[in-house]
């Protein structure tokens, strides 16, 4: 139990520092101080800083990937049982809904979202490459389902539109309930479920538009 507690303290500390200071700017000395462990403990559990980054991302992303994959596979399987193509709306919801719900999954989720968000714009690709490698299986599964759902679209156009949707979803994830249009004369941000529903409508309209 003590080892598990130590490992989790290291993961939590690394997630927080990588998110707020950046992966390259985070020193192991700062991490050991925050996690209240020694360097030997970090080396024992992870071996290297890169391996620690991998563990930080896997801890959050793999369970989310599993949820999304199961939901997408269920949509595809149910469509096959009916003898129809899967619905693009059902496939998108299977991917988008659990992703946005992740924001409220645990206290550390905000740091993880910040970590991934900054990795998409930073020149250093270490975090980005690690994240993309782990998220690609879920995206491949979604793309395969959407090809069945929307055979009228070329693969290149479908992939481009899917990239647009993922970019929009990433923006919503990063902003949370904040808005760049932060002015008291604007309406209050939508609640979680209403936000998901509006993102679905927005994404589906763009996805299904004629080429």
Which tokens belong to 167? 């970019």
Say if CB 116 and CB 58 are below 8 A apart.
no
Say if CB 70 and CB 92 are below 8 A apart.
no
Picking from 5, 11, 20, 21, the residue whose alpha carbon sits closest to that of residue 42 is 11
**Pairwise CA distance, residues 11 & 46, whole Å:** 10
**Pairwise CA distance, residues 34 & 133, whole Å:** 28
In order of their start, the domains of the chain are: 60-208 (1.10.357.10)
Per-residue pLDDT for the chain (211 aa), expressed as one digit of tens each? 345 589 999 999 999 999 999 999 999 999 999 999 999 999 999 999 999 999 999 999 999 999 999 999 999 999 999 999 999 999 999 999 999 999 888 878 989 999 998 898 888 899 999 999 999 999 999 999 999 999 999 999 999 999 999 999 988 887 755 555 666 777 877 888 998 999 999 999 999 999 9
Q: How far is CA 89 from CA 56, 152, 179, 198, 201, in A?
A: 31, 16, 26, 12, 9
**Pairwise CA distance, residues 91 & 75, whole Å:** 7
């Amino acid at each position: 139990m003590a080892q598990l507690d130590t490992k989790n303290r290291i993961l939590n500390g690394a997630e927080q520092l990588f998110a707020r200071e950046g992966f390259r700017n985070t020193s192991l000395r700062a991490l050991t101080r925050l996690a209240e462990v020694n360097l030997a403990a970090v080396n024992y559990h992870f071996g290297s800083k890169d391996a620690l980054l991998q563990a930080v991302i896997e801890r959050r992303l793999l369970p989310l990937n599993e949820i999304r994959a199961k939901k997408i596979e269920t949509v595809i399987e149910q469509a096959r049982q009916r003898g129809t193509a899967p619905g693009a709306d059902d496939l998108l919801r299977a991917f988008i809904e659990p992703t946005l719900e992740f924001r409220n999954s645990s206290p550390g989720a905000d740091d993880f979202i910040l970590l991934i968000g900054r990795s998409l714009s930073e020149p250093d690709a270490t975090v980005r490459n690690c994240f993309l490698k782990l998220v690609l299986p879920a995206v491949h599964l979604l793309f395969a389902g959407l090809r069945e759902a929307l055979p009228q679209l070329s693969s290149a156009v479908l992939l481009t539109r899917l990239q647009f949707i993922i970019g929009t979803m990433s923006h919503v994830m990063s902003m949370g309930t904040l808005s760049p249009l932060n002015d008291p004369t604007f309406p209050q941000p939508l609640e979680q479920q209403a936000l998901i529903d509006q993102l679905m409508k927005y994404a589906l309209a763009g996805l299904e538009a004629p080429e």
